[in-house]
Chains A and B, each alone.
Chain A
Amino acid sequence: MNDSTIVTDSVKRFKWVGTRPIRPDGVPKVTGRALYGADLKLPGMLYGKILRSPHAHARIRSIDTSAAEKLPGVKAVMTAADLPSQKFDYIGPERVAVNFWHVTRNILAREKALYEGHAIAAVAAISASIAEDAAALIKVDYEVLPHVIDVDDAMAPDAPLLFEDMITRGIEPAPTKPSNISKRLDFAIGDVDAGFKQADVVIEKDFKTAAVHQAYIEPHACVAKYEADGQCEIWSSSQGHFQMRALTAQILGARLGDLRVTPAEIGGGFGGKTVTYLEPVAAILSKKSGLPVRLQMTREDVFRASGPTSGSSMWVKIGVKKDGTIVAAEGIFRFQAGAFPGSPVMNGCLCAFAPYDIPNQRATGFDVVSNRPKAAAYRAPGSPISAFAVESVLDMCAKAIGMDPLALRHKNACRIGTPTIAGPKHAHAGYIETVEALMNHPAYKVKLGPNQGRGVASGYWFNGGGESSATLQVNADGTVLVATGSPDIGGSRASMAIMAAETLGVDYNTVRAIVADTASVGYTHVTGGSRVTFATGTAVVNGAKTVVKELCKRAALIWGVDEEGVVWDDGYAKPAGSNVGDFKPLSLKELAAKAAATGGPITASAGVNAGGQAPGFASQFCDVEVDPETGRVTILRFVAAQDVGRAIHPAYVEGQIQGGVVQGIGWALNEEYIYNSKGLLDNPGFLDYRCPVASDLPMIDAVMVEVPNPTHPYGAKGVGEVGICPPMAAIANAIAAATGKRMTELPISPPRLLAALSA
């Protein structure tokens, strides 16, 4: 627990919002009883296995499944030929456009295998071992092709092409030759060239970052049961069971109404479980066999075939005046998309300079395919990557003009009305308050010793809104059920129950929040984009308000007065005034007991398309010590300030901030995909893919800065993502302060840092 909360408003405190009740999912998880995607077992269930490409890039001449089909115990075999064709078009829900021509080819390869681990065919058998044997009997005739892994190599004119007809979008006139560059993006405001002419100091630098995996503990898993009448049920671990339903329906050519998806508990996602890999395959295997089928990835499958975030190559240039005014900034951001288009490079461009008031900005983005697994979302996708480059150059600028790096950020901090590179002006405050929280933090003044250094960085993330649903039921004993369609990744069951209890004026412990399946609650977007507390929370509050209205109506009936004569106050129906009459207030529990007599069950559903979400801002500093003999970096202290709007459940908010920082530390210091000369991944496991462990870390000091969001009933802002944006630059800046060496490539692993120190 941490009490570092800085409140910037004087709005009244709440009864439940801002408290730290016990998490409702805690007991099943600590006792090992919670059911995850791989835990479900149905009668007659088959075990699926996916055959994956051993090559980084190969044309598939033929696939012979006959030997596998003949193996006793095998009940179904499938390839991409069992899935319908998809139109080449970028369409999709919410703020994400998806091309199903690509998606279906990522689920099962067609013309080519585009990365090691690319799914080629699948089997279902009565045991896992038979399924494995059957997969090994599938004969694939490959024509091995030259491969390309690195983003700069993939952009070279003579690079092996993943798609022989890919013409770069976003360039006019369109190029005449194909390339691996899927798309170019350009954003600009002001006059960048004129801006740089005003600068006293201009610093530019190239940077590279490694692709890193979300590293969720639970591998992807699902069970599908396809009935003869065309109805299909799926149980899966994902960040959005409605999203899994939509993607699966499109891939299968099925109707949404014929699919029912039930969410399992989820063992982490961080963006990586917003896409489908297994569900359509399991569904077809079940359809072909007539039996339920379970598919799950191994850890190696997860690394080889599920989305990491992009690696990148970047160039950033920033101009400042001697007084610290930033007059111009420019960046070129080249992001790996993996084997199919769709990296988060647009986010990288739009977030890069967003915390600052810079009149002249230009960002150019390139979305580049290469022979790696398709990139997926990872916590504030795109923003941490560009922040590493931008915040590193800002640090160099501060040093060049002799200014404290926080003072530089404070001087240039965005405010309401500051233009952003996309065009819209900032509509919400919150950034400068995070900088001030660090400036006032006692640890920022602590003197450091030899080989130690302090680094500062900031970050920005849009946060999300969009469609969410909630259903509330008042039970006869006065307990309340809150059902939403948002898988609980970061504590949403607790925060939904808190907001419902606050709105209803009842004890939190009488409210139970659950995550309902696609047939039991209205459509809800994924748990991602830091949208759930804001959007689904708004749906819950709206539903609770409807319940309150109904409770007042029931009280009016009991008292024989007009509905307008009843108000709801702190969990009780009360007469609106003395002229209404002298009635004893009725509690929710008392009204629930009279539900049958007063009109039947008390229930309410609410659906919203929530807009006006406020963005997330974070500023962090860390102290490191570098071992000059080994290159090892020890994090001595990490202070993370974040504008959280209003912390509905502060312990969960702190956990989100701390989790983001820890993942950022791994990204900064150790995590990377290591490919060999054949384009094969050499470290597909947690032994060699080095995530931080507890002994690597100090206690992360999470400072919650509360600048409430006026568009949310309780002021909430998304908190799950922006915390991962600053750490890479903060650590690189701290290393530069400790050693005098500017590290521009991630990870800053001991061998890489030692080489730099020895140079």
Chain B
Amino acid sequence: MTQPTPIPTEPAPLLRIDGLKTHFFTDDGVVKAVDGVDLTVEQGKTLCVLGESGCGKSIMARSILRIVDRPGRIVDGSITYQAADGRSVDLAAMSPTSPAIRQIRGSDIAMIFQEPMTSLGPIQKIGKQIVETILLHRKMTKAEAKETAIEMLNRVGIPRPRERFEAYPFELSGGMRQRAMIAMALCCQPRLLIADEPTTALDVTTQAQILDLIADLKEEFNMAVMLITHDLGVVAEVAEDVAVMYLGKVVEKGDVYSIFEEPKHPYTRALLESVPRIGVKHAGRLPAIEGMVPHPLVRPTGCPFRTRCRDFMPGTCDVHQPVLQRHGRTDVACFLHNPVPAHG
């Protein structure tokens, strides 16, 4: 299941997702939550995955760690992870319960969630939970693990960490819990942190602190970050690379400046226009995207965005599926830019 590969000359991406499809086999039909995603996460860089609810961004992230719940499963594609020793492994081919993926979860790739109580147990003290994680993945004595845990709590900005080590999750505020969860995720110094809407439930001032914290720790540990969010402000603040998702597909990806300054996909453009911005007065109404995300069981033919697209071209967009192609500085999946296949 893991085969050694020669060390490449140029630095390989830390994580490379190719044609990933994660489908849910429900009684009502197959929900194609992730339907052909191509992405790369570079070593030590921050990739933001931008999308609205139902676009499959969380399922994509959970697919990486192989924690997709039934009835969902990966049906196609590969997730190539470049391990620290230079070997590359395909996470998509592993069994979700295998010791190999368990070793990667937590120690190589860690994940934090919007709701801290997803990863913190409610009836165990914070400190104990972190120590457990450390002992599972690192060779340390209990006393060393405790010191590491306290140091980590301190690093994430929890005041009086020695006291908080003995605290239960319910004794902490939302922002402090979020910090405790980050401390637990980072205690094994992962090479990739996947953060799924980590600040969505927080106040803006707390959000600013948590984003700062993730950015600091990323530099300190030379860690890559995949941050999943629907908030364009957060993307602009922390991203180096951006991937925009719609209905289970990446419709556009590129560096953060290109995405914000020269968006090519009509969906990216519409998203950027439809957010109110401080200091920018729209005379009257916001340019909203019409309609809504189609029902997951009734996917449109051709381009998934065509039902809401201002530039919909009948005979093309509803017949052919656009694929990601390089245009200038971004990859875009849209027939406004890409040639229409002759037959398809």
Q: Do A and B come from one complex?
A: no
